[in-house]
Each structure stands twice: as structure tokens, then as C-alpha cells.
Amino acid sequence: MNKTLRCTIVRSGLDFFSGLLIVFVCVASSMCGETSAEPAAQAGVASVTVVNADTVDTAIVIADDATDTIARLAEQLRNFIQQAVGVDLSIVTVSQLSKNESKVTPLLICVGPSRLTKDLVDTLPDDPYAAGGQDAIVRYEDRRIILTGSRALKSMTTRYAVRELLMRWGLKSYRGPDRRGNDNRLYTIVPRSSQLTIPVNLRTRVRTAFLARSPNATVEPIFSSGGGVPWEVAHNWGGIHEAGDFESHPEYFALRDGKRNPGRPCTSHPVILDRLVEIAARGFATGKRVFSLTPPDGTRYLCECESCADNYNKLEKTSDRFILLANAVRASLDEKYPQFHDRFIHILAGYGWEENRFPPSPAVEALPGVVLWIAHQGCHAHHWADPECPLNRTFAEQMRGWIAATRHPIGVYDYTCYSNYRWDRKWANFPVVSVRRVVRDVKAYQRAGVGYIYFEAEATWPRYVPFRWINAYAIERALADPRIDADALLHTLCEDLYGPASKTMHEYYDLLQTRLDETSLHAGNWYLPDPAMVYNSDDVNRLTGLVKQAVWEAQEVGGDVLQRCLESQKVWYQAVASLSDEDRGQNGPKEFNELPWP
């Protein structure tokens, strides 16, 4: 691209991505991809002008039956081109294109599966869980730019193709800190140019790095990864019972301390097992690929009746019980509904609670079609594969046991919420920055063969966006490309958002993450060490000075740059006020507008 491109920042430039991805979903996912070129574009390769200020022969084409998502993707692509070059392209369906044939062959931007992209779509597996099943294709040939994914997940995978082209043209988007109740500050950076081009040998396939991923921290729409595959590890043992069951069939319910529990099932009762099979079958009949058999947290609800004692209580570990339950449902499902043999049962069998965090016994193995999930059970102050961290060393050792217990890639339920506000409130008002650790974590998960990733994050909750958005952004980018360089990622973010204050803000964020990296303190599961023990008084003074300096430097350009620096300063002042509160672990988070300084 022209190195003299002018970049402008517009507010809410591509709101579809924001609206699509900010929705909180406890069952959501998408694929993580890396980009490979076939062949890679080389220096000196001829280029094709896609659109310039005088273009009248380029159109965006979608299928007649395109999904609403693909139609909106086409609209967002048109919006970007209009902002970048000032040309408003037409969006037409394949049928409309055929009816308006002319002697001039237009250049077509084909978005999503259609008759025009069929040959390439046929190369992508229809099974979303097959290798390459969530790949996307970006290609130029015969006056066509093809942006498409597979038929099975056409909306989501086509988004990866559109994203790849927009990134090639320089589009960036961030959702930064903002006050509660506003729009969380969607910043879209659109390079301005007289034309947009692509190389004539453009042959890119966006390849998957994980079978499913969901950051839950959808703060950066253009690069975001939420939505798509029927991904479920939600607690879903509810709905098994029917009205009147407790009065007529108390044996369907868990026996605890000599009493039946109306809120929990007896998982060894044949009627309950049959109902689980039927619920799964009904879901699969609608096209779902996954049924979640995930139990509630903890183990205090597990049934103690004679049947369960015979089936489960002689087992060494809780995970044995959960896996055997999933195996029983799987076996019965295969017998009664063989047409669903290629569907999956997912079960979160390993939690962060002390009583059920351990991998199963060597003799217990999940049947084919049963996917095991585990919660991150280590220390979030440090990289999960860090051999110097005793908690994470144990977690890494336990992961080997889980991997050995199944023929499928395992899933990991991870956390970026850090000290949930309901239990440990010390970090509630503190900006947590650990870009390097997050990127290392994702890379290590990929190397370990983990297939499914979910990150629980407070960054989706409006109250916590100002304090968690940097990590949420890093997770989005790392899941989209595990090869990404963490330091370059933070540098680019600061250069894009903070103008003349970029170096100062980079030093601010880097100091926050470095002290957390270096601490010798550890805290398990979703916790972090007390920030007052991570950052000493010199650190606090230095960080305070940096945000003040950034505000002073941003005066040069004002506008959004200054506003972002002011917001960062307010977030930090909130953190300082929190650190000075000796009862911050009990008092809970203050309102973001309650600032100690004007």
C-alpha cells in the first residue's frame, strides 16, 4: 500500500461487529486461525486495482439465500471502502447480477458461499470439527475476489475471510476503556487512500489453530472471535426433571444427607439417563453438533443413593464419575440414534475446586465422541506452563492426565476475570495488564494440543471494561493468531491509540505487566496476588507520573487521543484509591465515577 496513507479514526465505524460480539454468551465459540499464503505474495508482483476514486465496475456479490450475517458483512465491507476511498459500491445477489449482464465484465467481490464461489467452497470440509473445517479462503482469480468460508459455518468463517482482506488494507479496531453506561468507545482506524489494490497472486487460506474458541471478552470487534460453532460447556443439568417429578418420583433426585435434593438429579437412575439421551438427540436433530453434559460447580450435590454408591462412589476421583456418566449417555445415544454418531458430547469434568480438579484414574477413558474440558486450576499471575510457578507446574502435570483420558483434543475453560468481584475484590478497581502472559498461554495451549478454548472475562461487563480491556484485546488477537508477538502487539496498540503519548503509555502498560510477571507471589484459579504486594510505592508513583505525562503529551493533538489518555488517567486514579482502602477486599468495587481527584 501507499506508505503515505492518511489514517483517520471514526467512532462506531463498523457497529455490526460490536453488536454481534458484545452479547454475553455462556455458550459461544469460534475458530482460531492462522493465515498461510498459497503462494505468498512476493515483492514486485503485479497488483489489481480493486477500487479507486473513479471506479464504476466493481460490485459486491452475495448469494440469493445469504444469511443476515453475510449480508451485514458485505455492508461493512462497502462501508469501509466508502470511508477509505470515497466510493459507494453496489451490493447485489447472484441472480441480480445475472439479470444485469453487460459487455463490461465487472470486478466482483464475492462474499460467502454462492454459485460463484462453489468450486472453492467444495475444498472446505462441511464438518466444523474436522481439520480445516473452519478455514476460510481469500483469493483473486478471473476478475473475482473470493471471500468465503465453508457451508457448515458460512457466516462465521466468511467473517474471517472479510477480516483478512480488511486487515490487508489496514483496518484496525479497538474497544477501549469508557465510563459505565456508554458505548465502550469503539475506535475504528481507517486508512485513507485514492485506491485499494491486491496482488494478482493472492491465494490465502485462513487456517484454524483451535477447533473452537471463545474469549467472552469481545472488546475488539474487527479481530474478534466470538460466535459460530455450537460450543457448549455450560452448566446444564437443569431441565432434566418434569413438573410433578419430585412428588411422584423422588428417586429421580439426588440423595444428600438422607434427603432428596429437588434441584439436582440422581445421575445413575435409568430414567434420568434416558432423558439426557433424549435431550441430546433433540438438539442434534436441529443440526447442533455438540451437547453439553456439564454438571454444576463443586460436588456437594452428587447423589449418595445405593445405586450411585454402586456405580460411582467407589471411584477414586470425581472426574471418573463425570466421565462414566458421559460414556453412559454416549453409548445409549449411539445405540438408539446411530445417525448422530458423528456428534459430540462435551463435559467439563475438571474444575478449579479442590475436590474435583484432578484428572481421572488411568483406567477411566472417555469414549469416542466424548470431549473433556477442564478449568484452569493454576496461577494467573504467571504463564500456565511456567516451571518456576508451583501452582502452574501442578496444573501442567494434571493436563497430561486429561489429555491421556480422551481420544479427542481437550478443552480448557480459562479466566481473565481475575479475582471475581463476588469473592476477592482486591483487584476490582485495578487495571490488570499481562499481554505477554496471555499470548504465551495461548501459544502453549496450542503446542499442548488443546483443541477448545474459552476465556471467562469481566471485560464484557460494563463496570469492568476500564480495568480489563487490554488483556481482553490481547486474548482476541492471540486466539486469532497464536504466533503473534506480544511486545509488538502492545507497541502497535499504543501507536494506534495514543499518538504523541504512545511511548509513555507503552511504558505505563509494560510496567504494569512486568511487575505481575516478576512477582514471586502466587494465587490460584481466578485469583491474583494482592496488588498492594505486587506494586510497591515507587511503582505507584512512577505509574501515576506516566499517566499524567501522557495527558500532557496528548494536549498536542487533543481530540480522541487526549480523551483516551484522560480515561486511562481516571482508571489509574481509581486504582490508587482502591490501593489506599485497607478494606478493599470486603468493600467491593466503587462506582467508576467516584474519583478521588477532579
Q: Residues of the chain with pLDDT > 70: what percent?
A: 80
Rounded average pLDDT over 560-584: 84
Residue 313: pLDDT band (50, 70, 90) is low
- The angle formed by the CA atoms of residues 503, 219 and 145, to the nearest 5 degrees, is 95
Contacts of residue 39, defined as CB under 8 A and 6 or more positions apart, other chains included, come to: 201, 203
Same domain? For 184 and 328 the reply is no
Same domain? For 116 and 255 the reply is no
Is pLDDT at 40 greater than 50 in this prediction? no
Rounded average pLDDT over 391-420: 87
Number of Cβ atoms within 10 Å of the Cβ of 129: 21
Mean of per-residue pLDDT scores for the chain: 81
Same domain? For 29 and 168 the reply is yes
Same domain? For 126 and 238 the reply is no
User: What is the per-residue pLDDT across 124-136, written as a single tens digit (0 to 9) for each?
Assistant: 988 877 778 888 9
Residue 287: pLDDT band (50, 70, 90) is confident
In a domain, 580, yes or no: no
User: What is the per-residue pLDDT across 298-311, written as a single tens digit (0 to 9) for each?
Assistant: 777 888 898 888 87
Is pLDDT at 5 greater than 60 in this prediction? no
CATH of the domain at 117: 3.30.379.10
Rounded average pLDDT over 376-386: 88
Same domain? For 50 and 151 the reply is yes
Give the end of a domain, one of 217, 250, 282. Answer: 217
Most confident of 233-237, 300-304, 342-346: 342-346
Per-residue model confidence (pLDDT) at position 458? 63
Quick one: which of 268, 242, 236 has its CA closest to 254? 268
| DSSP one-letter code for 367 | P
Same domain? For 111 and 13 the reply is yes
**What is the domain range of residue 55?**
6-217
Is pLDDT at 372 greater than 50 in this prediction? yes
Q: Give the ranges where 171-313 is alpha helix by DSSP (H).
A: 245-248, 270-285, 306-308
Per-residue model confidence (pLDDT) at position 485? 96
In a domain, 380, yes or no: no
Is pLDDT at 229 greater than 50 in this prediction? no
**Measured between alpha carbons, how far is 109 from 101 in angstroms, rounded to an integer?**
16
Most confident of 224-228, 344-348, 423-427: 344-348
In a domain, 384, yes or no: no
Same domain? For 275 and 154 the reply is no
The least confident of 4-13, 147-156, 399-408, 525-534 is 4-13
3-state secondary structure 460-523: HCHHHHHHHHHHHHHHHHHHHCCCCCHHHHHHHHHHHHHHHHHHHHHHHHHHHHHHHHHCCCCC
**Measured between alpha carbons, how far is 81 from 505 in angstroms, rounded to an integer?**
31
Same domain? For 38 and 155 the reply is yes
Q: Residue 471 has which C-alpha cell?
A: 488483556
Same domain? For 260 and 285 the reply is yes
Helix, strand, coil % in the chain, rounded to nearest 5: 40, 20, 40
Per-residue model confidence (pLDDT) at position 133? 81
In a domain, 196, yes or no: yes
In a domain, 319, yes or no: yes
Per-residue model confidence (pLDDT) at position 508? 98
Number of structural domains the chain divides into = 2
Predicted TM-score (pTM) of this structure: 0.83
The residue that leads in pLDDT, 587 or 518, is: 518
**Measured between alpha carbons, how far is 349 from 219 in angstroms, rounded to an integer?**
29
Per-residue model confidence (pLDDT) at position 417? 67
Give the end of a domain, one of 182, 217, 252. Answer: 217
CA-derived radius of gyration, the chain: 26
Residue 478: pLDDT band (50, 70, 90) is confident
Is pLDDT at 176 greater than 80 in this prediction? no
Give the end of a domain, one of 328, 352, 375. Answer: 375
Is pLDDT at 26 greater than 70 in this prediction? no
The least confident of 37-46, 107-116, 239-248, 503-512 is 37-46
Is pLDDT at 15 greater than 90 in this prediction? no
